[in-house]
């Protein structure tokens, strides 16, 4: 995971992201977001950490080529810094991302409470959970969760693209990096950014499946609230407040196992039913 996300400098303000070894087909959007964040992070002083990012997916990339990340340093102030990143592959723009970085400061605190859920040690890994339901849900969408992944995933309740009894627009799961991560805080946040794209579309689609679905991420926002270790278990709780007009909206809260909220995310996705065209 660290090797995948640790973009290499090419020249001033230009970085190159590696291909995923063994990857085929379309690049997972979370990888592009995470590599773009890694590129931006390498241009700011070490005493500042990313607290928010906002990205637009313009085109889907393919696993056959590396991705270049051009970083513009738009602002460096006393406490905040802002970076703008353009991701390109074979001369085409895949993604635009803006990230804001800040120094640690003191302030008043409150947070959303973490729901009571089973601990990850009590749950099956995702590939085991999927194997228990061979005839349910939309099996053509499970390949992403079944293939070899740098993220270990343990679902709480319903699986992505599988309705539960109440067909609620909610998915919950524990995740962590599959291997220990001995790296700076910016890398742990990049890994969380990678994982924050997981199951967002599936949550928006969940009340309506099965249907002949065409999906793509349109935009993605992520806010970090405190330092995090991506190689320790994190609980993601996703809900979708709305879907319509061929799009869906999803929101995620990410907690450490002791209940602290470490990040929040939101995403709008393309979610078309081909039968409605």
* DSSP structure string for 15-82: EEEPPPTT--SBPPHHHHHHHHHHHHHTTS-TTEEEEEEEEEE-S--BTTS-EEEEEEEEEE-SSEEE
Catalytic residue among 149, 217, 240, 264: 217
Please say if 267 is a catalytic residue: yes
- Residue 17 bridge partners (DSSP): 67
Catalytic residue among 31, 35, 149, 267: 267
Please say if 138 is a catalytic residue: no
What's the rounded Cα separation, in Å, for the pair 248 and 268? 6
Please say if 70 is a catalytic residue: no
Catalytic residue among 35, 149, 197, 240: 197
What's the rounded Cα separation, in Å, for the pair 59 and 94? 5
List residues with catalytic annotation. Answer: 197, 217, 267
């Amino acid at each position: 995971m660290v090797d995948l996300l640790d973009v290499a400098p090419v020249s001033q303000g230009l970085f190159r992201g590696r291909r995923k070894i063994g990857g085929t087909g379309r690049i997972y959007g979370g990888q592009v977001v995470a590599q773009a964040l890694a590129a931006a992070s390498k241009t700011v002083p070490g005493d500042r950490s990313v607290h928010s990012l906002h990205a637009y997916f313009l085109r889907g990339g393919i696993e056959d080529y590396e991705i270049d990340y051009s970083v513009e340093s738009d602002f460096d102030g006393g406490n905040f810094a802002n970076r703008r990143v353009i991701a390109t592959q074979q001369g085409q723009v895949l993604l635009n991302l803006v990230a804001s970085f800040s120094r640690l400061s003191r302030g008043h605190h409150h947070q959303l409470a973490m729901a009571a859920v089973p601990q990850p040690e009590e749950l099956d890994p995702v590939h085991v959970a999927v194997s228990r339901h061979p005839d349910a849900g939309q099996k053509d969408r499970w390949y992403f969760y079944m293939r070899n992944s740098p993220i270990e995933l343990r679902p709480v309740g319903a699986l992505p693209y599988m309705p539960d009894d109440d067909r609620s627009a909610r998915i919950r799961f524990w995740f962590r990096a599959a291997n220990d991560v001995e790296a700076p805080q910016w890398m742990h946040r990049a890994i969380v950014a990678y994982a924050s794209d997981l199951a967002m579309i599936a949550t928006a689609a969940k009340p309506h499946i099965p249907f002949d679905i065409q999906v793509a991420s349109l935009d993605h926002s992520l806010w970090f609230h405190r330092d995090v270790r991506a190689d320790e278990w994190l609980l993601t709780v996703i809900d979708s407040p709305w879907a319509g007009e061929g799009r869906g909206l999803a929101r995620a809260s990410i907690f450490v196992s002791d209940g602290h909220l470490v990040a929040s995310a939101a995403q709008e996705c393309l979610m078309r039913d081909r039968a409605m065209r």
